[in-house]
Amino acid sequence: MEAFVIEGGRRLSGSIRPSGNKNSALPLLAASLLTDQPLVLRNVPRIRDVAAKRQILAAQGVAFDEPGANVLRMQSGSMPAMDPDPELCRRIRTSILLAGPLLARLGHVRLPRPGGDRIGPRPLDTHFQVLRALGAKVEITPHFYEARTDGLRGADIFLEEMSVTGTEQAVLAAVLADGDTVIRNAASEPHVQDLCRCLCGMGARIAGIGTNTLEIHGVPRLAGADFTLGPDYMEVGSFLGLAAVTGSELRIQGARPQEHRMTRIAFGKLGVTWQDDGDDIVIPAGQELRVQAGPHGAIPKIDDAPWPGFPSDLMSIALTVATQAEGTVLIHEKMFQSRLFFVDKLIDMGARIILCDPHRAVVSGRSPLFGESLTSPDIRAGMAILIAALCAQGQSVISNIEQIDRGYQDIEKRLAAVGAAIRRVSL
C-alpha cells in the first residue's frame, strides 16, 4: 500500500498543465469496439481507470500500442464471442459503456454491475431506457445485465435524466443503428462533446454537439480516426482551488477558460479570482478569500447541476476552499447523497463544518488547518483532502491513494514541480 506524505503550509509557484480528460478517455476507449480500423487517441491520461479499461478491451480482442507519450493506438479485429471479465468490469463505472458497442457489433452483451466511486446510488435506468428504445431486449438479474438485439434501430428518445454516461451509451449505440435517432434531454459536458466529435471523425453523423438535443443519422460502418482529448476540467478546477487556499500564483496551461465560466461564479462566492491569458488561466498570489454575501447579507449557496452548471465533481474542492474563506456558506450537493461524507476528515484537521444531511453542509471559515493522518475515500474527495493537506500546518499522511491515482496522473510529481512538499511512500 502506498501513501502521500505532505508538509503543508507552503506557497507554490510556476506553471502546471492538466492531463487529458479522464471522462473523455473512458468512453472513447469503448468507441474502439465500433470499428475494425485503427483509432488513435492523444493526450490520454496514464491513470488506473484507463489501465483497467484497457485490460477489459484487450480481453475483447482490441490490440494496443503506444506510439508516443500519452498516445494510444488501438484496433479491434475479430471479436471473441465471450463476456467481458466481471472482476475487471467491477473496477470502473464506465464498464457499462461496453453495452452499446458490443450490441452494435455482436448483438449480445452480458455485463456485471459496474464499479466506480461510492458516492451514493447511481442507478443505470437511463442506460436500460436507451438500449430498449433502440431495439434491445434487456434482462436484469441481481448481479448481471444482459441485452440482445437482432439489429439496433433509430428512435426518438427523451432521457429520464440528463445522465452523462446514459447519453454516451445512447450515442455509442445509435451511430451504427438503422435510421435516425434523436436524444433529447441529453448531457452536454465537454467529455460528451469529445466523444461525439471523435465519432464524427470516424464517419458518424451527429448534429447538435454541445446542446441538449443530439440528432444521429445511423451509418453502416465507422472508420478509424486520430483524435486529441481536451484537458480535464476537473483537474483545472482542482488547481484553481489549490492555488487559492495556499496563496499561490499558478499558471494553468491549456486550461480552456471558456469551460470555467460557472466555476468562476461558484468560486467567486468564496472570493477566488483569476485572469484568462489566451488558453491559460493565471491565479494571483496572496488572495484574501472572503465569502461574498448575497443581497441583504444573505448567506450564499454553492450547488451543483448538469452542465453547464457547476460540476458535482468539484463540490469537494469547493467545500475545501470554503474552509479557508472568511464567512459562512452553504454547500448543497444535489446529485449524489454520499459526496459530502468525507467532511469528517476536514473536521479532524480543524475545519468548522456542520453536515446538515447527506446533501448539505454549512462551512464557517476561515479555519486554520493542521496536519493529520487521513484516508482517501474516492477520487474527488481524495483530491480535496490532498489540497487541504497542502494548505495545513504540519505533516499529513494520506493513505489509500490508489483512489487518487484512478483520476490524477503523476499528481505528486506535478505538484512537486511547482514547489509542493509531497512524496509517495510505501507503508
Give residue-wise pLDDT tens across range 128-147: 999 999 999 999 887 788 89
Q: Which domain-ending residue is among 228, 244, 278? A: 228
The verdict on 207 and 258 lying in the same domain is: no
Question: Tens digit of pLDDT for each residue in 58-69?
Answer: 888 899 999 999
If we measure between CA atoms, which residue out of 165, 158, 104 comes closest to residue 135? 104
Can you give the length of the chain in residues? 427
Q: Which domain-ending residue is among 180, 197, 228? A: 228
The verdict on 224 and 241 lying in the same domain is: no
Assess whether pLDDT exceeds 90 at residue 270: yes
The verdict on 103 and 116 lying in the same domain is: yes
Phi, psi of 250 (to 5 degrees): -130, 145
The verdict on 138 and 270 lying in the same domain is: no
For range 339-351, the mean pLDDT: 94
For range 250-258, the mean pLDDT: 97
The verdict on 12 and 55 lying in the same domain is: no
For range 256-273, the mean pLDDT: 97
Out of 81-85, 275-279, 319-323, which region has the weakest mean confidence (pLDDT)? 81-85
Residue span of the structural domain in which 203 resides: 23-228
The C-alpha atoms of residue 56 and residue 85 are separated, in whole angstroms, by 7
The verdict on 193 and 328 lying in the same domain is: no
For range 327-347, the mean pLDDT: 91
If we measure between CA atoms, which residue out of 82, 77, 98 comes closest to residue 26? 98
The verdict on 174 and 297 lying in the same domain is: no
Assess whether pLDDT exceeds 70 at residue 122: no
The verdict on 154 and 258 lying in the same domain is: no
If we measure between CA atoms, which residue out of 271, 274, 266, 263 comes closest to residue 288? 271
Out of 147-151, 200-204, 388-392, which region has the weakest mean confidence (pLDDT)? 147-151
Assess whether pLDDT exceeds 50 at residue 117: no
- Total structural domains in the chain? 2
Assess whether pLDDT exceeds 60 at residue 48: yes
Torsion of CA 293, 297, 298, 303, to 10 degrees: -10
Write down the residue that cell numbers 491559460 correspond to.
Answer: 280
The verdict on 136 and 256 lying in the same domain is: no
* Residue 81: per-residue pLDDT: 60
For range 365-375, the mean pLDDT: 95
Q: Which domain-ending residue is among 228, 251, 280? A: 228
Out of 87-101, 236-250, 342-356, 407-421, which region has the weakest mean confidence (pLDDT)? 87-101
The verdict on 203 and 245 lying in the same domain is: no
Assess whether pLDDT exceeds 80 at residue 46: yes
Assess whether pLDDT exceeds 50 at residue 78: yes
Assess whether pLDDT exceeds 60 at residue 110: yes
* Residue 310: per-residue pLDDT: 96
* Residue 296: per-residue pLDDT: 82
Selected residue with higher pLDDT from 339 and 33 = 33
* Residue 80: per-residue pLDDT: 62
Catalytic-residue membership of 405 = no
* Residue 17: per-residue pLDDT: 97
Does the predicted model carry a pTM greater than 0.85?
A: yes
Write down the residue that cell numbers 454541445 correspond to.
Answer: 210
Phi, psi of 156 (to 5 degrees): -100, 110
For range 209-235, the mean pLDDT: 97
Which of the following is catalytic: 83, 117, 194, 232?
117
For range 13-36, the mean pLDDT: 96
The verdict on 149 and 193 lying in the same domain is: yes
Share of the chain above pLDDT 90, in %: 80
Write down the residue that cell numbers 455485463 correspond to.
Answer: 111
For range 23-34, the mean pLDDT: 95
